[in-house]
Amino acid sequence: AGDRTVTTEAGSRAQAGRVGAIVMANGDACKLARKLAAPHKALLDVNGKPMIDRVLQAVHECPLVDGVIVSCLPGGPIATHLGDRVTLAQPSDPTFLGGIAEGFRLAPEMERALLVTCDMPLLTPESIEFFARQAAQSPEADVVYGMVDVHLTRRQYPETRRTAIKLREGQYTAA
């Protein structure tokens, strides 16, 4: 079954599953980046390639992604690294929400977007496609958030520290 067309409450038509992507890289260097003498965690080398380049490759290779914007600090290391390879949102408000707002401002035709963090070097086009198709099942939703049971994450990656949110159904962390 191919993409289906849905009509939202506002009456606009959108091809289900097709989205834009905003890659979030607008923070400062984290503790790990500073420890490894990198200007930003997105520029940490993962098997010979900066982490953000791996993320962007996966996003670009997903057939459901129609446009990609990277949110980063104005004139910062990510902007310098990427140059004109991708549209850059360089918000005056350096917060996470400021980066999202600037991404949507630069692409007003983008009704829905996947928010992708810059620190997921194992992200695959297939996982992006799966999530986009799942999100398309709820065209009325304002936010669709990928979560996993925090206990599964801690069992698989016991050395990592994860923030969890407690819901009626259990404790979850970002996925």
Give the residue among 66, 86, 87 at the shortest CA–CA distance from 129: 66
Please compute, for residue 15, the number of CA atoms within 13 A of its CA located in the half-sphere on the CB side: 10
User: Mind giving me the DSSP string for 8-53?
Assistant: -TT--EEETT-EEEEEEE-S---HHHHHTT-SSGGG-EETTEEHHH
Q: Is the pLDDT at 24 greater than 50, yes or no?
A: yes
Q: What is the mean pLDDT of the chain?
A: 84
Q: Are 79 and 23 in contact (CB under 8 A)?
A: no
Q: Are 58 and 126 in contact (CB under 8 A)?
A: no
pLDDT top residue among 2 and 56: 56
Q: Is the pLDDT at 25 greater than 70, yes or no?
A: yes
Nearest-Å Rg of the Cα atoms of the chain is 17
pLDDT top residue among 126 and 17: 126
- The least confident of 35-44, 49-58, 59-68, 133-142 is 133-142
- The least confident of 11-15, 46-50, 93-97 is 11-15
Percent of the chain's residues with pLDDT above 70: 89
User: Mind giving me the DSSP string for 112-166?
Assistant: -EEEEETT-TT--HHHHHHHHHHHHT-TT-S----EEEHHHHHHH-TTS----EE
